[in-house]
């Protein structure tokens, strides 16, 4: 089922400049996989080689950080809004 | 160049001082010309005197608010409690991840001395370039 995915600024160039795109899946993992299938330029920028979320990537379903839900197994339903942002940190 | 309205300049310094003894952080929103018009002080989720992490949910809310105002997040500020207002190796590493925006301004506030020092940098491909900071007492228009 389609969900809206809000893209961080640096990924928009891989999606023709769009700020948000539609992707399919019933979990965050499936949505991200569909996203990188549609926009191959994003592959490697969201997930590690082991298939986990990169530590510098934050993904949200509506108002919740998926790290506090079921990470890539977090369920999404029709009409949910998924947001991707850089994790902002330093020392 | 980073253009900071005086009220935002003092808001940033106040948030950094208020965060002691830990580092404090926040996001700045504005336009593509370095004009800052809104500051979003955020929680340091790392709660550390040596590290900072912008609280992810506060980041999401700031992003949405900035968008609703027709602005974008154009950078981040954070404090160094005992060192110079200069990006640390960790700051440079974090500014160089694939999702880092090379257009961002990295504002550093040193609280080492009696008076806080604020400086701003661009960090692109691991290279640090300081930029000038203009504190505006009046915003034109």
Question: What is the SS3 assignment for B42-81?
Answer: ECECCCCCCCEEECHHHHHHHHHHHHHCCCEEEEEEEEEC
pLDDT at position B124 is 95
Spell out which chain B residues touch chain A, with contact meaning CB-CB distance below 8 angstroms.
Answer: 23, 25, 27, 46, 50-54, 56-57, 59-60, 63, 72, 76, 78, 87-91, 94-95, 97-103
Q: In angstroms, how far is CA B55 from the centroid of its own chain?
A: 14
Nearest to A32 by CA among A62, A80, A72: A72
Residue B8: phi and psi, rounded to 5, are: -75, -35
Which pLDDT band, with edges at 50, 70 and 90, does A43 fall under?
Answer: confident
pLDDT at position B104 is 97
The mean per-residue pLDDT over the stretch A28-47 comes to 94
Nearest to B6 by CA among B140, B101, B138, B120: B138
- The better pLDDT of the pair A1, B8 is held by B8
pLDDT at position A1 is 75
Contact criterion met (CB < 8 Å) for B101 and A86: yes
Pick left, alpha or beta for residue A64 (phi over 0 → left; psi -120 to 50 → alpha; otherwise beta).
beta
pLDDT at position A66 is 97
pLDDT at position B139 is 54
Residues of chain B with pLDDT under 50: none
Mention every residue, 6+ apart, whose C-beta is less than 8 A from residue B103: A9, B32, B74
Inter-residue contact A34 to A47 (CB < 8 Å): no
User: From the list A8, A9, A58, which residue is nearest B56 (CB)?
Assistant: A58
Q: Which residue of B has its CA nearest to A91?
A: B51
pLDDT surpasses 70 at A79 = yes
Which pLDDT band, with edges at 50, 70 and 90, does A42 fall under?
Answer: very high
pTM: 0.94
User: From the list B60, B78, B102, which residue is nearest A90 (CB)?
Assistant: B78
Q: Sign of the C-alpha dihedral, residues B69, B75, B80, B85?
A: negative
């Amino acid at each position: 089922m389609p969900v809206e995915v809000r893209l961080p600024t640096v990924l928009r160039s891989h999606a023709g400049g769009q700020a948000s795109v539609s992707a399919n899946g019933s979990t965050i993992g499936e949505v991200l996989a569909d996203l990188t299938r549609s926009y191959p330029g994003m592959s490697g920028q969201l997930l590690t080689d082991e298939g986990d979320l990169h530590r510098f990537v934050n993904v949200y379903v509506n108002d919740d950080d998926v790290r506090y839900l079921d990470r890539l197994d977090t369920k999404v339903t029709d009409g949910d809004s998924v947001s991707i942002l850089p994790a902002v940190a330093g020392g | 160049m980073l253009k900071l309205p005086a009220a935002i300049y003092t808001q940033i310094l106040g948030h950094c001082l208020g965060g002691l003894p830990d580092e404090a952080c926040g996001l700045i929103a504005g336009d593509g010309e370095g004009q800052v018009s809104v500051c979003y002080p955020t929680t340091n989720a790392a709660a550390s005197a040596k590290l900072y992490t912008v609280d992810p949910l506060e980041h999401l809310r700031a992003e949405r608010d900035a968008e609703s105002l027709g602005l974008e997040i154009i950078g981040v500020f954070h404090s160094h409690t005992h060192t110079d207002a200069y990006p640390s190796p960790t700051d440079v590493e974090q500014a160089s991840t694939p999702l880092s925006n090379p257009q961002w301004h990295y504002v550093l506030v040193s609280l080492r001395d009696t008076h806080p020092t604020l400086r701003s940098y661009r960090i692109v491909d691991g290279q640090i370039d300081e930029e000038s900071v203009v504190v505006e007492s009046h915003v034109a228009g």
